[in-house]
Amino acid sequence: MASDRTQVTDAPPAPHPGPDTQVPPDPDTHETTYWLEHAWLESHVEHGVTIGVTGGRIAAVSTRADAPPPGATVLRGLTLPGLANAHSHAFHRALRSTVQVGSGTFWTWREVMYGIAAKLTPETYHALARAVYAEMALAGITSVGEFHYLHHAPDGTPYDNPNAMGEALLAAAAEAGIRITLLDTAYLASGISDRRGGKPPERHQLRFSDGTADAWAERASALEDSDHARIGAAIHSVRAVPAEQLATVAEWAGARDAPLHVHLSEQTAENDACLAVHGRTPTRLLADHGVLGSRTTGVHNTHLTDEDIALLGSSRTGTCMCPTTERDLADGIGPAARLQEAGSPLSLGSDSHAVIDILEEARAMELDERLRTRRRGHWTANALLRAATADGHAALGRPDAGRIERGALADLVTIALDSVRTAGTLPRLGAETAVFAASAADVRHTVVGGRHLVRDGVHTLVPDVPTALAESVAALRG
């Protein structure tokens, strides 16, 4: 029998990368009422739910409302809390389809990625990210964790504003209407080495590096939280942050009670190098330098030992699975079920944006485990949806999001129950329909902070998202 395992915008203006940037007006703060034809309330689906919204938060929830009250906005279909995309590299969206030519490994894919990274400026990154975040809104994502390491000019020279690239992302999220946790990333070395400071950055990595963790911390400290944005930290990986500097990043995040994310054991080559130089696994190295803990999320967590799993679980370090990217890059299948059983909360991310569809990520996590074990039903649909909602938002430093309950942020997504994928399903099995039948294409409405951001499949702030994507990606070619 399947077990239900999961422990699993108010968007105001953000900093501008240039004078031509347009920022949407603040969302309405007056009282708004939504009537949900069907609503997923974590353990079950309820028909006829009315929610009142005040100041961007849910002020009241009423069930058994068979008809919409006067003046209510009607959301027909199945409404869930807004989805959380806990791991994103926005610029990877420009790689979609182009990296599917030929064969190779993660490492050959990385060379193509470096080529795109080298072409980005604050202006072109802003345009691309705005379109990517708008695509996320159309997919029902209301909050994104942006794992950001493109800090400087391609030769490593800081911009006049050292945070020009990060602020471009903050502005892009505000204009697309979604929340962002900017996980400002320390990326200081090209590989693990027994020399202090690790291997120097390679040519394509110069723009990622601040030189030292102290310099990274000084630059990141200039970034500030806002209503739509949280500033967190990230350690790119143990190959990119030398062991003696890991604690600096962890202490910076701890002093701010900020989320801390890290790519962990995505590749066996990283594990081998860490064992060769440090005599321990990447997970043990992070533990020994104070990185693990309940505010920390390991991304991928693919190639782990039994001890690694126990360390992550006992420390309550989270796990962000990105199945569509992990399968696209042939990385392997991480031990998600064992991690959660050990105590590691699960979240989901679209990472390289081979597709942007958190419902597919939830489905893939279960189906990958079925392939590995040749057994069905490792998580219930309710558990998978909690990984995609409440636990994902918590990993991004937003424990007040991801639930349809009084006091929570009024972030919602409505999935059609009459599409070719979902027609004929039973509303009471809405969770199963959402995870195992629906896709991002079935999202009809997205509400962020009480603002109706996507109406009937149309983004209200970026009305032509395909054109915005096409133009911003084309600007990086050639």
Q: At what angle do helices 122-138 and 465-474 cross, to 10 degrees?
A: 150
Q: How far apart are CA 43 and CA 403, in angstroms?
A: 11
Cβ neighbours for 248, distance < 8 A, ≥ 6 positions apart: 213, 214, 216, 217
CB 159 within 8 A of CB 210: no
- Determine whether 300 is an active site residue: yes
Residue in 16, 300, 393, 452 annotated catalytic: 300
* Residue 361 token pair: 């990520």
Q: How far apart are CA 241 and CA 197, in angstroms?
A: 8
Residue 328 CB burial class (10 angstroms; 0-12, 13-18, ≥19): buried
Q: How far apart are CA 325 and CA 460, in angstroms?
A: 29
Residue 70 CB burial class (10 angstroms; 0-12, 13-18, ≥19): exposed
Q: What angle do CA 94, 100, 102 make, to 5 degrees?
A: 135
Q: At what angle do helices 164-176 and 122-138 cross, to 10 degrees?
A: 30
CB 337 within 8 A of CB 378: yes
Residue in 10, 351, 411, 442 annotated catalytic: 351
- Determine whether 351 is an active site residue: yes
Bridge partners for 239 per DSSP: none
Q: CA 111 → CA 102, 106, 203, 278, 327, distances in Å? A: 14, 9, 11, 27, 18
Annotated active-site positions, please?
A: 300, 351
